[in-house]
Amino acid sequence: MMKSEEDESRILRTRRKTEQALGPRERSVQRLAVRAMAGGRAPTVETLSRELGLQVDAVREALASLEACDCVVMDGDRVRVAYPFTMDPVPHEVTSSHGTARANCAIDALGTGAMLAEEIEIRSVCSYCSASIRLRGRESFKATTIGPVVFVPASDLIQGHASDCVCPSTNFYCNEEHGRTHALALAARGRLLSLEQATTLGISAFGDLLESTSAQSGERRPVKME
Residue 122 beta carbon to Zn ion: minimum distance, rounded to whole angstroms = 16
Closest distance between Zn ion and the C-beta of residue 99, in Å? 28
Q: How far is the CB of 146 from Zn ion (least distance, A)?
A: 8
Question: What does the alpha-carbon distance between residue 55 and residue 21 come to, in Å, rounded to a whole number?
Answer: 22
Which phi and psi angles does 223 have, rounded to 5°?
Answer: -90, 110
Nearer to Zn ion, 83 or 173 (CB): 173
In the complex, minimum distance from the CB of residue 109 to Zn ion, in angstroms, rounded to a whole number: 17
Contact 92, 122 (CB under 8 A): yes
Binding site for Zn ion (CB under 5 A): 126, 128-129, 131, 174, 178
* DSSP assignment string, 66-88: HHHTTSEEEETTEEEEETTEESS
Least separation in angstroms between residue 169's CB and Zn ion is 15
User: Cβ neighbours of residue 54 under 8 Å, at least 6 residues apart?
Assistant: 25, 29, 48, 62
Angle, in degrees to the nearest 10, between helices 24-38 and 56-68: 90
Residue 62, SS3 per DSSP: helix
Residue number, 84 or 91, with CB nearest to Zn ion: 91
The span from the CA of 154 to the CA of 121, in Å, is 27
Backbone conformation region of residue 97, classed left if phi is above 0, alpha if psi is from -120 to 50, else beta: alpha
Q: Which is nearer to Zn ion, 44 or 170 (CB)?
A: 170
For Zn ion, the closer of residues 162 and 174 by Cβ is 174
- Smaller CB distance to Zn ion: residue 80 or 178? 178
Question: Residue 100 CB, nearest distance to Zn ion (Å)?
Answer: 23
Which amino acid is located at 187 in the chain? A
Q: CB burial class (10 A; 0-12, 13-18, 19+) of residue 77?
A: middle
User: Which residue, 174 or 195, has its beta carbon nearer to Zn ion?
Assistant: 174
